[in-house]
Structure 1
């Protein structure tokens, strides 16, 4: 009798869930019928059958908006679950101006797959914790802190250029994406952690860049493989085990730096006043209004976040900037001519020069429009949200496809043409400010955007002071977006020393 009751309860519960899902599914069908689909729907695999990786996802989104001029699109994952995305300033601003968090807790939430690695830092945290940490960390990017970093940018660039010089002297082409990644990691370590251990000189023997690239690749692979969403399933796979090993390794790298600094400050509390104050100093000594500081786990999360975001996204922007200089020789000479005029007879850029590089600023902005360093961000709806007259239900993630906004034909009619002049006089343009946001926008914009933009200027200025660059005939230059915009086959260039 008891067994029959239990069976009956299970059956009733199961039927109630089926009925509940049926009602939801019917509503989702009705809602998505009013929204532009990404393409032809497979009856089981949804729209995931259209692409194997994020390159296929972005191509599908860009093709859809080119064909339909949509501002809002939808897709279906397997198991009949819809997803949503926005690709126009009118719809992007609704998400970016909201207080909705990143999708880090939902089963398919894309940021959830970065959480074991990056932890609860500024990129992934939300609510009061994000607000507190943002407030505590903002002083790390004050102009007075950023000013002395310019010399570090120059020092790092000098090492980078010496590597290029060897290729130039031997009259060989060189792939620059990995070299740029090592340089931007070197910059981040020196500026934020006062860590100067010859990262660029070590080259391939320094594993951090490869580990970060592999972690992002594994995260993207998991995002487009729904049956690997459950943690216990993923942990059983070779990818899951590799992800755990790489995560432990990058954590160990950060922990060693943090523990060394904390020990030094314990031995000499006045040490912080004897030298340049860096990001790690601020993390260790920061206190909120209640006098409470960050825990060791919170400090590591912020260090991991800044090492990743601060080197990988900037490396993408600089690499595609070098590609663009090589592809457009006339633009390269315009950037160079402005640089020479500002430098005069000096060899290196200084803090005061950076704001005077008007054409270079226009050029770099166009690079980040054409090749978005961060192609997409997402928000998780905690309540229903009205977009384009339609109410998207709560508990869905919505992609804000920055790369698609940067190429929407209604906003940028000639979006595949490279034209720095688009940004010549932004103050007088009527363009919506949410039509271009390479560092995201709203309250969760990138806290380090001035740091990154200054670093780009110094690196590109140092390069052009010494070399002319050109593309390598026959090499295939192809965007390969994942967490950042990479190059599928690398970015090869030829170098010619300037007289």
Structure 2
């Protein structure tokens, strides 16, 4: 009786001998199994992600290929589209960037809480756009994450303690006075039409240079190479964002804009490095507390001083590269955002003269018996200084920051699933947009959201409102570390401006333009009239 013999696998076409076929066959099977497992895993992840995404409503797409690409543009029309979307989807919505990239947009305080309050290691900053800033800002607080971010955040917090911030109010006075002297000259004929954003941006840069470096460049009166470089870097980053091909670093470096960006980065870094090295040589070899007390007493403590003296829990100091990154980050984040906020505040008060006059009367009453018209901050208790005695002016500032937030959106990419209060899930790895502008214009949170009404921030009216309904400085672990600095500067500049000028609207209504910060197309033009001429 014959036996049936199974044919052997012929691998000669692979160049393998019969005796070698078994190990190679095993390796082939292992590879195929691994590939199959990967395909099945990715299929499961895609199905699971898609299942969770289906819980979020989405507006109609252009088509299957474009998705919602181009639906929300960085223009006045785009912001109006956001206003319409938040009225239709007040809890948030989902859009597709092309056929395969989902983006979840959240715009209600009850929903954004889960993402904003997540730890910094879970809700990471989405880095596609921020990566353009990396050559300039390095691993500062804006761009770093993980343990480095946590360590630096703890080390930098003392730099924004009220004892450190108090002397800066004198600097805010001085810089605002320089700006006003220019306005007085321009308005010598009775009034002047000017781009307040351009003027205020120079003023905030002037203040920051003095607060960060103790350096006076007279940039409001004479051209400054360093200040010009910062303004150019901001403009180049914004320009690059709108040119998709230039998102590729190797291509961008070959362009004229890329070379200008590199040159401006080198100039800014050289300036910061020189200040750091000079300060290291002159810093006295005393105990940290003694240095802080001595400098604070003489009102000479600046941001670089605090960074040089900072140490972590193990006594480790910041490197010169880390100090440069944090100083450059503060210069970048501190000038445009404050300039945007203050410019739109003046715009809103120009359109509402009754609120402008009430603010002016509040400032005049505060300074009635003063020989000097400087806003002071020299009291022993910070909460009882001048800036805390301007409640209505503060309400007007906050309502303007609600209506025109300097930063309109922030983005996160979570490292794990985030469960929302209503049971829906934001899948791991999906880009999540916290739309600050939409949250501030959400009609289910703010009745008549397009109306400028400072009384929304009357203490009686905020009792039952979620603290996440108003987030111009973000919220949670990665909120803006410099928000008190920014509010103090805006209060000083606004109070002194209303004391000296009447602000009037321009004939042409501005068109909003959300970029790195909220600007106006062609500048934000207003008219100012010196009060002394009336």
TM-score where L is the length of structure 1:
0.89
Is the contact made by 1:83 and 1:398 (CA closer than 8 Å) also made in structure 2?
yes
Distance 1:76 1:248, change over 3 A: farther
Report the Cα offset of residue 86 of structure 1.
Answer: 0.8
Q: Please, which of 200, 204, 208 is the counterpart of residue 184 of structure 1? A: 204
Q: Please, which of 177, 197, 214 is the counterpart of residue 158 of structure 1? A: 177
Query: Is 1:281 the equivalent of 2:305?
Result: yes
3-state SS in 2 of match to 1:73: strand
3-state SS in 1 of match to 2:304: helix
Report the Cα offset of residue 78 of structure 1.
Answer: 2.7
Is the contact made by 1:104 and 1:115 (CA closer than 8 Å) also made in structure 2?
no
Q: Which residue of 2 aligns with 1:369?
A: 402
Is the contact made by 1:379 and 1:399 (CA closer than 8 Å) also made in structure 2?
yes
Q: Which residue of 2 aligns with 1:83?
A: 103
Distance 1:112 1:2, change over 3 A: farther
Report the Cα offset of residue 58 of structure 1.
Answer: 4.3
Report the Cα offset of residue 260 of structure 1.
Answer: 2.8
3-state SS in 1 of match to 2:389: coil
Q: Which residue of 1 aligns with 2:219?
A: 199
3-state SS in 2 of match to 1:476: coil
For 1:25 and 1:49, how far apart are their aligned partners in 2?
25
For 1:355 and 1:458, how far apart are their aligned partners in 2?
11
Is the contact made by 1:468 and 1:495 (CA closer than 8 Å) also made in structure 2?
yes
3-state SS in 2 of match to 1:48: coil
Superposed counterparts of 1:371-386, under 5 Å: 371-386=404-419
Superposed counterparts of 1:114-193, under 5 Å: 114-170=133-189, 171-193=191-213
Moved more, 428-437 or 24-33: 24-33
Provide Cα deviations, 1:334-384, integer angstroms capped at 9, x if missing partner. 110111111114312112211010100000000100100111122220111
For 1:240 and 1:8, how far apart are their aligned partners in 2?
49
Distance 1:211 1:268, change over 3 A: farther
Moved more, 232-241 or 128-137: 232-241
Is the contact made by 2:284 and 2:291 (CA closer than 8 Å) also made in structure 1?
no
Q: Which residue of 2 aligns with 1:348?
A: 374
Distance 1:242 1:43, change over 3 A: farther
3-state SS in 2 of match to 1:36: coil
Q: Which residue of 2 aligns with 1:262?
A: 280
For 1:24 and 1:308, how far apart are their aligned partners in 2?
39
Moved more, 165-174 or 33-42: 33-42
3-state SS in 2 of match to 1:380: strand
For 1:195 and 1:72, how far apart are their aligned partners in 2?
45
Q: Which residue of 2 aligns with 1:296?
A: 320
Distance 1:237 1:395, change over 3 A: farther
Is the contact made by 2:504 and 2:527 (CA closer than 8 Å) also made in structure 1?
yes
Moved more, 51-60 or 321-330: 51-60
Report the Cα offset of residue 266 of structure 1.
Answer: 7.2
Report the Cα offset of residue 237 of structure 1.
Answer: 5.0
**CA-based RMSD:** 3.1
Moved more, 304-313 or 12-21: 12-21
Q: Which residue of 2 aligns with 1:466?
A: 500
3-state SS in 1 of match to 2:272: helix
Moved more, 487-496 or 407-416: 487-496
Report the Cα offset of residue 204 of structure 1.
Answer: 7.3
Moved more, 332-341 or 197-206: 197-206
Count of residue pairs brought into register by the alignment: 493
Is the contact made by 2:155 and 2:312 (CA closer than 8 Å) also made in structure 1?
yes
Provide Cα deviations, 1:208-260, integer angstroms capped at 9, x if missing partner. 342243144135326xx3x6555445445555444434433332332233233
Q: Which residue of 2 aligns with 1:482?
A: 515
For 2:435 and 2:462, how far apart are their aligned partners in 1?
26
Query: Is 1:392 the equivalent of 2:426?
Result: yes
For 1:378 and 1:453, how far apart are their aligned partners in 2?
23
Q: Which residue of 1 aligns with 2:269?
A: 251
Is the contact made by 1:152 and 1:190 (CA closer than 8 Å) also made in structure 2?
yes
3-state SS in 1 of match to 2:176: helix
For 1:439 and 1:415, how far apart are their aligned partners in 2?
19
3-state SS in 2 of match to 1:63: helix
Superposed counterparts of 1:13-32, under 5 Å: 24-32=45-53
3-state SS in 1 of match to 2:504: strand
3-state SS in 2 of match to 1:37: coil
TM-score where L is the length of structure 2:
0.84
3-state SS in 2 of match to 1:50: coil
3-state SS in 2 of match to 1:207: helix
Report the Cα offset of residue 21 of structure 1.
Answer: 5.5
Q: Which residue of 1 aligns with 2:436?
A: 402
For 1:27 and 1:118, how far apart are their aligned partners in 2?
37
Distance 1:11 1:43, change over 3 A: farther
Report the Cα offset of residue 309 of structure 1.
Answer: 1.3
Distance 1:332 1:20, change over 3 A: same
Report the Cα offset of residue 401 of structure 1.
Answer: 0.9
3-state SS in 2 of match to 1:444: coil
What 5-or-longer segments of structure 1 have no aligned partner? none
3-state SS in 2 of match to 1:95: helix
